[in-house]
Amino acid sequence: MRYDELEAAVLQLVAEAGDDNLRVFGAETVARLVRDELLLDVAAEDELDEDALAALTIARENVLTASPTELRVQLARIDNGILTDGDMDPELLIIVSALEHWTAYLETGQRDELYELAIRSIEQVDFQVPADLSDFLATPEMAAEYERIERLLAT
């Protein structure tokens, strides 16, 4: 499956998923993306000021229990404390982006936010184990991630 086919398949899964499946998928995916072992502390310390780093920690620890308003406050603190100029560590960028998409989904209920969360999840796997562009599901890790997405979103 080429990358564009993968994107289209994920978009269709999100479009056809029931609301309960969407919520479970979103919660499981954001929790997986922001878990502690994915963040390189050295990179975060170099790219975020102290307040932003504290906000990131709070957001990650409470991602499944915080209200969208509480998460939005932490995201604003993170945004205000970014020390880099557009060239953020890819893993840190995925974490911040995942928090943003989850928060926006909680605020609006828009499915496209969960589509974007799924794409961040695929990117995170691709960052760890680069996929073959002609067959994006050729690696066991990417195939497993697609199967996870499909299982959680299937109606």
| Residue-range domain boundaries for the chain | 3-153
Topology of domain 3-153, CATH: YP_001051499.1 fold like (1.20.1590)
Give the tens place of pLDDT for each residue, 8-64: 999 999 999 999 999 999 999 999 999 866 555 556 777 899 999 999 999 999 999
Question: Where residue 151 falls among pLDDT bands split at 50, 70, 90?
Answer: very high
pTM of model > 0.95: no
Type of residue at 45: E
